[in-house]
Amino acid sequence: MPTERYTAKVAIVGTGAGGATAAAVLARAGVDTILIEQGRYYKPEDHGDILTSMRRMYVNGGMTLALGNPPVPIPLGCAVGGTTIINSSTCFRPPRAKVDHWEGPSWEALEPCLREVETRLHVGPAEESLLGNNYQVLKRGCDKLGIAIRPLAHNLYGCKSSGRCAFGCPTGAKQSTDRTFVPDAIEAGTRLYTEHTVTDVIRKGGRLVGLKGETPSGAFEVYADVIILAMGALTTPAFLLRHRLATGSRRVGRGLRIHPACRVAAEFDEIIDGHVGLPQGACIDHWANRGIMLEGISLPPGPLLSALPGAGARFKELAAHWRQIATFGIMISDTSVGRVMRGIGDSPFTAIYQLNQADTESMRFAMVRLGELYFAAGAKVLYTNALPYPVIRSMDELRKFESCRIRPSGLELMAFHPTGTCAMSATGKTGVVTAGLQAHDMPNLYIMDGSVIPCALGVNPQITIMALAWHGAAQLAAEIGN
């Protein structure tokens, strides 16, 4: 097979929240930069039906799991844009208390980067007209119980409310990195290579000098003075472990946090049509001091029905009422800690995560509070998919669920925010990278993705990842310039 060879000052692997942002900052500073992406580039008009989009743009078709009891699906993007192309476009700044506590950039250093990112992505509160009945029906319950609910901030520009955020925006309204930082980087001179899978590293005299891998038509090698890994909090640490990079602290792959999540669905007498509107339009942060965030989640009819309990005639009856079902999501700031290891066989990584009892109780607490809001709004039945009460038909049953014994294995979980596996730290004894995202024990290696966040943020992390990458890339550009 022919081998293509590329050279650059900086080579970046990954075009998601971290890699694309870093490329744009470096290229604008005049640094010769290459972007390497395993997936393909898709235009808005390329986004097809849900199954096609999942097959094309999700790692393993959306079947990536963290092993545990229960196992936890963690959807990851595989396309130009990374996971930003399949996320729900929700934008939070990192909580100030988390930034003040971590061994990373100070708030004063990070805040200008947050402003730059938010401006470029058109971040702002969602218009209420886009929120749909999923929001309106829960707001009714919130108003009755005196709980605040508010629109979430999103990176949207000209949203048409197609409800397809998680499957590639068909109108191009979502300002994922394929629509923002990747074009910015290319315009400033970055070279983008898609369908390039990095498989190995190139060393010379013990020093990392490049990467090599495969394309559909052959092989490639890229030589660069600086390598930036931005493959995500699951793939990056496994790659480091496989190739024995930056492993001096023995912290690579440890410290995995995922923001475990679940949902509660509620059946009403009225038509909800919860699939219409922004999939994640609003939030309730009333219990944020307990590490609990309630965020809107709406599902298209197919995924919605697959998430409901029952079988046979009972399920057929329930499916007939799908337009009367509202859903809302729960996310917790986890105290459970998992680990990423080298993959087995062809798998790029193995993630292990066991929900602890404290987080299980937090999840149950949140499900009960959400159930109270739904019953206050007039719900007839709740569907929790949690044992031993997957279906709850009254406040009395909700109280029984609140007081019963519950195990982690009785929950049906998902997670969308893996972080922490190459954490920032002041020294190489306690983490993998510096506040500037430079590997402690490998000066020409940088990591710029969610793996560097050293804690469970408690909020969606994409803006934090982008701001950290902006800060780290700006520092790197200044050093290269000097």
Q: Mean pLDDT, the chain, as a whole number?
A: 95
What confidence tens digit (pLDDT) does each residue in 192-232 have? 999 999 999 999 988 999 999 999 999 999 999 999 999 99
CA nearest neighbour of 66 among 297, 199, 257? 257
What confidence tens digit (pLDDT) does each residue in 131-172 have? 989 999 999 999 999 999 999 999 999 998 888 898 999 999
Dihedral (C-alpha) 377, 260, 460, 477: value to the nearest 10 degrees?
180
pLDDT of residue 297 exceeding 90: no
Identify whether the C-beta of residue 413 lies closer than 8 Å to the C-beta of residue 362: no
What confidence tens digit (pLDDT) does each residue in 23-62 have? 999 999 999 999 999 999 999 999 878 888 999 999 999 9
Place 92 in a pLDDT band, splitting at 50, 70 and 90: very high
Find the largest Cα–Cα distance for the chain. 72
Kindly state the tokens that stand for 35: 């972007």
Q: Is 297 helix (H, G, I), strand (E, B) or coil?
A: coil
In CATH, which of 3.20.20.70, 3.40.50.2300, 3.50.50.60, 3.40.30.10 is domain 3-59+70-122+161-251+422-481?
3.50.50.60
How would DSSP label each residue in 378-426? T-SEEE---TT-SEE-SHHHHHHHHHS---GGG---B----B-TT-B-S
What's the whole-number mean pLDDT along residues 369-382?
Answer: 98
Kindly state the tokens that stand for 15: 């075009």
The conformation of residue 90, written as its DSSP 8-state character, comes to: B
**Residue 123's CB: how many other CB atoms inside 10 A?**
22
* Residue 395 C-alpha from the chain's centroid: 34
CA distance 118 to 92: 10
Place 320 in a pLDDT band, splitting at 50, 70 and 90: confident
Beta strand pairing call for 282-284 and 150-151: antiparallel
Q: Is 470 helix (H, G, I), strand (E, B) or coil?
A: helix
pTM above 0.95, yes or no: yes
pLDDT at 293: 98
Domain residue spans of the chain: 3-59+70-122+161-251+422-481, 128-153+261-333+356-410
Place 345 in a pLDDT band, splitting at 50, 70 and 90: confident
pLDDT at 237: 98
Residue with tokens 């001096």: 248
CA distance 173 to 165: 9
Would the CA dihedral through 267, 270, 271, 273 be positive or negative?
A: negative
CA nearest neighbour of 479 among 434, 441, 449? 434
CA distances from residue 161 to 239, 450, 478 in whole angstroms, order as listed: 38, 28, 41
Helices (H) and strands (E) in the chain, counts: 12, 21
In CATH, which of 3.40.50, 3.30.420, 3.30.410, 3.50.50 is domain 128-153+261-333+356-410?
3.30.410
pLDDT at 48: 79
CA distance 381 to 473: 51
pLDDT at 464: 99
Q: What angle do CA 109, 110, 114 make, to 5 degrees?
A: 140
CA distances from residue 112 to 20, 107, 176, 423, 444 in whole angstroms, order as listed: 18, 9, 20, 22, 26
Identify whether the C-beta of residue 330 lies closer than 8 Å to the C-beta of residue 292: yes
Dihedral (C-alpha) 117, 46, 415, 344: value to the nearest 10 degrees?
-110
pLDDT at 407: 97
Of the spans 81-95, 154-168, 290-304, which averages the highest pLDDT? 81-95
CA nearest neighbour of 110 among 477, 468, 434, 453? 468
- Percentage of the chain modeled with pLDDT above 90: 85
The conformation of residue 127, written as its DSSP 8-state character, comes to: P
Q: Is 482 helix (H, G, I), strand (E, B) or coil?
A: coil
pLDDT at 210: 98
pLDDT at 423: 98
